[in-house]
Amino acid sequence: MMREDIKQVLFSESQLAARVRELAADINRDYAGRVPLIISILKGSFVFAADLVRCIDIECSIDFIACSSYAKSTETSGAVKIIKDLDTDISGREVIIVEDILDSGVTLNYIINLMGAKNPASIKLCVLLDKPARRRVPVAADYRGFEISDDFVVGYGLDFDEKYRNLPYIGVLRPHVYERPERRRALDGP
Ligand code: IMP
Ligand code: MG
């Protein structure tokens, strides 16, 4: 059972739903009369983005980008590999990047710079979770669901070793799960 690997539920389904509605209300207000392009970063933000856009009641378009960090040795350089690029031409568009969690900031810093070079009218960042204690690159969210401490969390799209994304809440993983030697690599790896 997945539930047995969760030490603590940080945010329940109803807490998540309430906060997502608030974030969407902020976006509805800030972008009234405009047509933003919402870019969901795969895979982690797929659940959050799906819930968020269904609470957004202004016209918008939606696109996806998938990327992965290079191996740890090169991660400090900020190198990120794009696995699936956007379908949309973003020049002149008002872009809202949607991400599950802002951690070191390396991935988002790279993506924001990449998007910024394509002449969008504006770029804002919407993250569900923020772990400020982990920041290595200065990145700030314009819309932020919750600030959390430095625990490894899963669920609501967030994975460990590609598992737990389907949990409907966000929970803290029991350390024994990732301390199993054969699974350590998944935390350290790209
Ligand atoms: P960073 O900000 O470049 O370090 O990377 C952010 C990415 O790391 C997120 O998109 C997640 O995929 C992953 N990540 C960071 N912290 C967690 C966590 O607590 N649980 C699950 N994934 C995490
Ligand atoms: Mg991940």
- How far is ligand 2, taken at its centre, from the CA of residue 44, in Å? 6
Averages of pLDDT over each 10 residues, the chain, 190 residues: 93 98 98 98 98 98 90 57 95 98 94 96 98 95 97 96 97 87 55
pLDDT for 179: 81
pLDDT for 175: 86
Ligand 1 in contact with 70 (CB < 6 A)? no
pLDDT for 3: 87
- Catalytic: 51? no
Q: How far apart are CA 144 and CA 167, in angstroms?
A: 21
End-to-end CA distance of the chain: 27
- The reported pTM is 0.92
Ligand 1 in contact with 10 (CB < 6 A)? no
User: How many angstroms from the chain centroid is the CA of residue 104?
Assistant: 12
The HSE-up count of residue 182 (CA atoms within 13 Å, CB side) is 0
Taking alpha carbons only, the member of 92, 96, 77 closest to residue 142 is 96
Active-site choice (5, 26, 63, 103)? 103
Maximum Cα interatomic distance, the chain, rounded to a whole number of Å = 53
pLDDT for 79: 74
- How far is ligand 2, taken at its centre, from the CA of residue 176, in Å? 18
pLDDT for 190: 47
| Sign of the C-alpha dihedral computed for residues 127, 28, 52 and 43 taken in this order | negative
pLDDT for 75: 42
